Every structure is written in C-alpha cells, then in structure tokens.
A and B are shown apart, each in its own frame.
Chain A
C-alpha cells in the first residue's frame, strides 16, 4: 500500500462489508499494522433511522461498534498479503457515552495493540463534535491465517 489514506472507493479493497452494512466512509490515515482513522457520516438517508426509532432516530449501538471494528480491520488488511481477506470478530467490549443523531459525523480512531498469527487486539473510539460517543476493546481475526497455526484434529 503506497498511500496513507483511502477514499470511499479505495477502502472497498480492504474492507469486505458492503451496503447496507459498510459503516465507514473514508479512511483519513492508515499505518498498516498500527492504526486506522477515518469517519462515517450518518445522514438522514441511513436505512435504520426510520426504524431505530420512529420519532427518535439514533444510530444503533451495534452499528457504532461495527464502525469501530471495520476501521480496525483496515489497519490489518492493509498489511502486505492481507488485502481482501475476510475478518471475523472474536470479542468486543464496548461502552456508549452519547447518542449519535441524524446528520452527525462519527470520527473514528483505532489502534492495533497486537497483531500476531491472525489475531488482532485493538482499541477504538468514536468521537462526535469532539466528545467520545463510544469506545471499545476489540479482538478480530483473519481465520485464513489463524487456522494455519491450530493443532490438527
């Protein structure tokens, strides 16, 4: 990877999720194996606002976490040899601090704490108007790599 940012089209090479489940719009900074930062704009057109909830639209917590996890994934899939590989979540611990409303922009910052043998441990936070909206400790894996290290059954 030559660039240190990915626009909305370029990031599709490093993040397998697609509409309506792609939860990141732009990667403003990525250092493979170290960090990935970017954002997601939650416009009034989001598919979930009419149903979550009628009369009081806000971003579901599960999708906030998904946004953090998808950004962390980019920090790993941009490493040499990992482009296009499928990732899975193993364990996430998340805390929500404020609602995210239609029209708000979620700034996402994620950091890799360790990456070894197909397992990534990392942290992420989502920021709206300078305040933390959500933060998480995450463990994700690339099963294709992890499986190579497991005892045979």
Chain B
C-alpha cells in the first residue's frame, strides 16, 4: 500500500467520505470533521506513519491537501 493509499484510507474512514470528494475536503466541511474527528484523524495518521505531529502542525492541518504538505516536513511523501 502506498503512502497515498494509506493517507486516503484514513480520511475516508475518519470522515465517511467518498474518494472523489477528498481533494476538496476541509476542516468542518463535513459533520464528521469536527474537533473530535480532527484529533482522531491526527492520531490515525501518527499511528500509520509512525510520527508525532507538532502542535502548530495539528492546528495548520486544515484540509486534505494541506495535510500532504505538512507530512512532507516529517519526510512522508504522499
């Protein structure tokens, strides 16, 4: 499974969205991506990629696309 597959899977599972909707997915754009959903998704990413996100990065993680850029800082290429 590629990093992109893993990344997509976490968003699909966390927020119950279809793959085709991922690109435009943003914080609070669907009911499931609320405060608790945000922390749950971050936790899933940390487990999947064996990283620990800094507080500033968790705050900046405001969209599906933005997340890809943030993970690059942790040497995870999506």
Contacts and interface: CB of A to CB of B under 8 A. Distances in A.
A151 B39 contact: no
Interface string A71-96: 00000000000000000001100000
Contacts of B61: 151
**Which one of B35, B36, B55, B60 has the greatest number of beta carbons of chain A within 10 Å?**
B35
B59 interface: yes
B66 to A, nearest CB: 9
B60 A141 contact: no
Contacts of B55: 148-149
How many interface residues does chain A have, given as a range? 10 to 19
Residues of A contacting B: mostly: mixed
B36 A139 contact: yes
Contact of B58 (A91, A141, A149): A149
Contacts of A18: none
A40 to B, nearest CB: 28
Contact of A117 (B27, B58, B60, B62): B58
Interface in A126-153: 139, 141, 146-153
Interface of A: 90-91, 116-119, 139, 141, 146-153
Report the 10 A-B pairs with minimum CB-CB distance, sorted nearest first: A151-B62, A151-B27, A149-B58, A119-B39, A90-B36, A150-B35, A117-B39, A146-B35, A151-B59, A150-B38
